[in-house]
Amino acid sequence: MNNLVVLPILVPLLAAVILIFFAKNVIVQRYISALSALINIIVALILVREVSEKGIQKLDIGSWPAPFGITLVSDMLSALLVLSTTIIGFVVILYSFKSIGKQREKFYYYSIIQFQIIGVIGAFTTGDIFNMFVFFEVMLMASYVLLVIGGTKRQLRESLKYLTVNVISSAFFVIAIAMLYSVVGTLNMAQIGERITSLNEVPGILTVIAVLFLIVFGMKGAIFPLYFWLPGSYAVPPIPVMALFGALLTKVGVYSIIRTFTLFFNFEQGHLYEMLMILAIITVIIGVIGSIAYWDIKQIIIYNIITAIGVILYGVAVSTETSLTGSVFYLIHDMLIKAALFLLIGMIIHITGTSNLRKFSGLIKHYPTLAWTYFIAALSLGGIPPLSGFVGKMLTVQGGFEANEFIGSMIILITSILVLYSVMKIFIFGFWGKADQMYVSKENVSYHALLMPIILIVVISVFYGVGAEAVHSFIAQAVEPLINPEIYIEAVLKE
């Protein structure tokens, strides 16, 4: 059953190749894309069950045992993130049917989506630091295409910035890997952790390498001060692509920080973790300022990505069992709810023809289902109990208080109110008020087709929060290897 580890990568890979042969047949592309995404959800669910019952699963590619060959590893953290990715991919594909446009669909859109998912799932699953770089590049190459699909002037301009930042980041990634290999002599992530742990005295170069990895993953995860590229780049692609980027791409950077800092760089929880904590808190503040300052609904949600990144990494920096549990819970919550919110604002733009919040109002009169779906998603993002945003943030803050990090925890609590204000601003000014009849006449027949996948992912998010007690055992299992890396090391390196 260890083959389950590679199946979430193989299913979209097979679908991507098949889709290339049906580039001009949009209907066939839709069926194949939706079917493969649905199959991948089932595979991911089985994988989660397998990890839950039997512990960490690994697959040695080509039967070369770790650390001599390439190893894929699924612990509970990886499995849960793979499941979240498959759900988001399925919802985005369904939403794309009536929103992306046939011209884009004929230019390998669904095939590129599959390659994007391959890169994300591969990064979550790999047990080899160099292959993490490889999967990053697969993910990034697909994102380059998706960013410019449609070819508007603004897309092309922002794509140059996005491409430049990621090329530089990838170069630093290779340098960091080479430096790490020169010190520990291996690329297998479990063995890297084992060798660093066994050192009697940790050389100073490892701290330098840790900072370099933080720069690389921080640039991809958009933490302060490396977030500058994100607000412009994420605002230009079509809404389904924006949802995919906002929900997944930055989370791969965050996951990489969590994995490397808990497995490799847990030797020094002093200055290194203090630096991560300071950067995380500033990231939260910057994100909140941006989200409340803008009246463009795209930018409001985009800056809330930055805020969430800071909250998650704050829990990692505190590094207690409670705070890490909160970070993992909040990470999955944010993936789901950001996908939902981006798709929701896409519907608003679809109806009104604008993303400027000052130019429309009163949508609740003619679109009540859309309004209340957005309302629930906004409350979840704001951390209102018993929704999913509350549980993760509460545990993160509780972990901070337990570690006597009162200032950072209070900042997280205070900014939660501002996060809620930023998303409720859209509800108050966009859905309340006098209905503007000029927008009502533009209702499109695809309204319900667009709304159904959004309701699906919002319902999943609601159950994730309301059923937090049932989910907690899975989250606790995901946190165990982060607190005690020996669990991960032993599972990967054992014969």
DSSP string, 378-415: HHHHHT-TTSHHHHHHHHHHHHHHHTT-HHHHHHHHHH
Phi/psi of residue 191, nearest 5 degrees:
-70, -30
Indicate the pTM of the whole model: 0.92
Mean pLDDT confidence for 336-364: 89
By residue count, the chain amounts to 495
- pLDDT tens readout for residues 71-113: 899 999 999 999 999 999 999 999 998 888 777 878 888 999 9
At 185 the pLDDT is: 86
Whether 442 shows a pLDDT value over 70: the answer reads no
Beta bridge partners of 73: 58
Whether 221 shows a pLDDT value over 90: the answer reads no
Which 8-state DSSP code applies to residue 236? S
Which 8-state DSSP code applies to residue 65? P
Which 8-state DSSP code applies to residue 237? S
CB 19 within 8 A of CB 111: yes
Which helix (H) or strand (E) element contains residue 421?
helix 406-426
Mean pLDDT confidence for 476-482: 92
> Measuring CA to CA, which residue among 53, 57, 58, 77 is closest to residue 479?
77
At 358 the pLDDT is: 86
One-letter amino acid for residue 56 of the chain? I
Mean pLDDT confidence for 444-449: 67
Q: Which residue has the tokens 């909160």?
A: 326
At 269 the pLDDT is: 65
Mean pLDDT confidence for 207-232: 88
- Angle 117-122-125 from CA coordinates, rounded to 5°: 130
CB 461 within 8 A of CB 380: yes
Distance CA 54, CA 71 (A): 18
